[in-house]
A = this chain, B = another copy of it.
Amino acid sequence: MQTSTAISVQAFQALVNEIHDISATQAILGWDLETYMPEQGGPLRAKQMATLAKISHNMMTSPEMAEHLRSLRQPGVLEKLDTMSQALVREVGRNFDKSQKTPIELLQEIVETTAEAHKTWVEARANKNFKQFEPVLRKIISLNQRMAEAQGYGDSPYDALLYDYEPGLTVKQLDPQFKQLKADLVPLLKAIQNSGYTPQTDFLHQGPFPQNDQLAFSEQVLKDMGFDFAAGRLDLAPHPFSSGASSMDVRLTTRVDVHDVFSALSSSMHEGGHGMYEQGVNAALNRTPLAEGTSLGIHESQSRMWENLVGRSKAFWSHYLPKLQATFPSLKSVTLEQFYHAINRVQPSFIRVEADEVTYNLHIMVRYEIEKALIEGTMKVDEVPEAWAAKMQEYLGITPANDAEGALQDIHWSHGSFGYFPTYTLGNLYSAQFFNTAKQQNPALENDIAHGNLLTLKSWLNKEIHAVGKMESATTIVQRVTGEPLNARYFVDYLWQKYGDIFNIQR
């Protein structure tokens, strides 16, 4: 490498480091806002966040950054950089190119419209009236379409939006997977409903299960999972999330309902999955955008794996139920089978965030199909409630009574986010595909889990998925780890095996 290139790489990395320091700062301010900030702190916190965002944007789009990228992306230069520098140039360049392609007026219009849209959505939802949300939603869709045009795409404008959340995936790849998934899930759900068996769940909701005991139990499980409390914490927040400043400073949150013994633990394991991904990234990538999960879908695969494939498994509870019973004596007469069945009850419902493993992805299918049609222009905004009701009836067998339990339930569209929903299902699909490989490569895995040894899985995830951070794309990771591209079959097989057993049904 020439000396001038070495100097240029160094200056480029220094600038990237500073931009990332700001993003770490934003993460801590955001965490503080949801956990400890006094209630009157809000308005000025918004100003602080806006100032940091402006500074970061200015640094990201500065002439200095443009010059670094121009010189490092020259033919004959990029290939000679070390792997990490190449990945960094690629990743930062991707964001830079996006910002270059985005007209500043469009960005401004999106900020203003979504601020307005959020308020309108809150009111419309309170009034259960989709009509009220329609005008601003129409505008948001048009802005998203303009953004897609500005960024460019191959087959569908939806691809350009998807790119923000799951870079590399396209409608062309997703459609057949999702179609097959739907074709498999609908009959599974019908079979469960026709089984005539409904697990008893009342003991989960009695209590009271004191908050401190629930938190202590969650912390113990997180420790067993391998979440490092010297490099992270668990706090309370109204809507659980995971964030952090670096692999050495990861913040999990959960929420406790003293009349629900399972939800705080379940959300802790979910957020713990996200947090352990961040903790597991190679520390050499810190202070760069490579020190993050590679995509929302892969991130969600980690949270869903711990929440569902581990936290709702019989193996896990064969070890932890006695401990839970020691903490909460009111559960002492519950058998392992009763408990396992209770936390895996399947029941179609209107609200996505309360859905079980079987119905959850059908909720996503409803949203994916509708938002794709809206962006592609094959559905009009005023057709959404009817389409929503029809799809809910077709996939889940229920029809929402009003828009609040229909198309107004999710915050995403009011934020301007189109292309986000599919990543939830991708997370579920990846999680089963990864877990299948983990079991093949660690034949004792389930036995280890049944003995409370969760570190077998954690170490495997660290090595196979976490360490590379964003150095590899989602598609590369899936192919490298499992030997094939995204394949919905593993998830469907997992569900059939698990729920076939619980509900005594056959495929």
Task: Show the binding face of A for B, using Cβ within 8 Å.
Answer: 17-18, 21-22, 24-25, 28-29, 32, 36-41, 43-45, 47-48, 50-52, 54-55, 228-233, 235, 245-246, 248-250, 286-287
Contacts and interface: CB of A to CB of B under 8 A. Distances in A.
Contact of A41 (B18, B41, B47, B246): B246
A289 to B, nearest CB: 15
B41 A25 contact: no
A245 B18 contact: no
Contacts of A48: 21, 24-25, 245
Contacts of A52: 21-22, 25
A54 to B, nearest CB: 8
13 contacts: A18-B51, A22-B52, A25-B29, A38-B230, A38-B231, A38-B232, A38-B233, A38-B248, A38-B250, A40-B230, A40-B248, A41-B249, A44-B248
Nearest to A291: B44
Contacts of A246: 41, 44
Contacts of A24: 44, 48
Contact of A25 (B25, B228, B245): B25
A233 to B, nearest CB: 6
A45 B287 contact: no
A15 to B, nearest CB: 11
Contacts of A44: 24, 245-246, 248-249, 286-287
Nearest to A19: B51
A17 B47 contact: yes
A291 to B, nearest CB: 10
B286 A38 contact: no
Contacts of A249: 37-38, 40-41, 44-45
The residue in A17, A18, A38, A248 that gathers the most chain B C-beta atoms within 10 A of its C-beta is A38
Nearest to A51: B21
The residue in A40, A228, A245 that gathers the most chain B C-beta atoms within 10 A of its C-beta is A40
**The 8 residue pairs across chains A and B that have the minimum distance between CB atoms:** A41-B249, A21-B51, A40-B248, A40-B231, A21-B48, A44-B246, A18-B51, A39-B230
B287 A43 contact: no
Contact of A28 (B21, B29, B47): B29
A25 B31 CA distance: 13
B248 A43 contact: yes
